Amino acid sequence: MTESRPPGWYDEPSGVRSQLRWWDGRSWTPVTRARAPFETLPEDRPGFLRPPRDVLDSARRARPGPRRGLLLGLLAAAVVAVLLVAGLPGGGTGEERRVDAGPGRTGLATPPEPAPTPPRAVTGRVVDRVAKLSYDVLPGDWREWDRDSFDGLLSTIGYYRITQESAPNAETYWANVTSGPVSPRVAVPGDLRGSGSRLVETLADAYYPPHTRHQVAERQLTVDGAAAYLVRYLAVFDPVRAEGYSAKSEEVAVLVVDTGEPLPSVLYVSLPDTVRSLWPSVDGLLSSVRIVR
């Protein structure tokens, strides 16, 4: 799995629209700041289903209402009035009207870049109350998922481990065990197999080097009494087009589960051969999945 994103201020991943969080080039830091008035609010994703307020994103603030437009209008009128007064005769010379930018005033100066923060370790078991899935943490050192949601998912929770710091195109490569609700853009209503197939294609196109699929296994199964569909395969990378990657293949499992919600949820496992010793643990991981009720 790969991702490339430079350090900087980005939209708050928890969904707080009025706040930005610092990305240090590898993970999210605890450093945040308020969104400045001139910085555009992010657009809502079409079909995004917000989870109940008593789950993982309970701190999410309400969307701004019509009052925001009124406040912006009043602010604009006040700015125009100040400019008019400053331009009137007797308003003082240009030197006298110059704004003092001394220590007594605050502005929108960019703060110094925060220092990188150590990743938070993950052990035991993951409980994803948005996707309504829980599952075990594989052996070894893992960090809590702190990156953007995967393409094809509405949200992403779980854990990962960086396996190559400098992959081709200045990307980072990792192993991950993650979960989330399937996006309505990908899900096929009432069809777990169709949803799983489309999600596999979406993830492969977005995150893997050119590859072919081997040992493909697809089957219906039951997860904690719920209907589910599993797609599992070995992705073997093209030796020419994937030159520069430490991994040459990857074990992939996509388990789509009907949790009783309008959209199915998925457990997405992706383990490159640089952590090949974990491949035998995938069966136990899949068996550990439970529905959060």
pLDDT digits 0-9 by tens, 40-89: 655 443 333 333 333 333 233 333 333 344 444 545 555 555 555 455 45
Quick: pLDDT tens for 194-230.
Answer: 999 999 999 999 999 999 999 999 999 999 999 999 9
Mean pLDDT of the chain: 79
Q: How confident is the model at residue 24 (pLDDT cuts 50, 70, 90)?
A: confident
Interatomic CA distance for residues 45 and 265, integer angstroms = 18
Quote the tokens at residue 142. 């893992």
In this prediction, residue 36 has a pLDDT band, given cuts at 50, 70 and 90, of confident
Residue found by looking up tokens 């605050």 in the block: 106
Indicate the DSSP class of residue 153.
B
114: helix, strand or coil? coil
Question: What is the C-alpha to C-alpha distance for residues 48 and 14, in angstroms, rounded to an integer?
Answer: 14
Q: Looking at residue 259, what is its pLDDT?
A: 97
What does the alpha-carbon distance between residue 26 and residue 115 come to, in Å, rounded to a whole number? 12
Q: Per the confidence metrics, is the pTM higher than 0.75?
A: no
The helix (run of H) or strand (run of E) holding residue 68 is helix 67-87
- pLDDT(130) > 90: yes
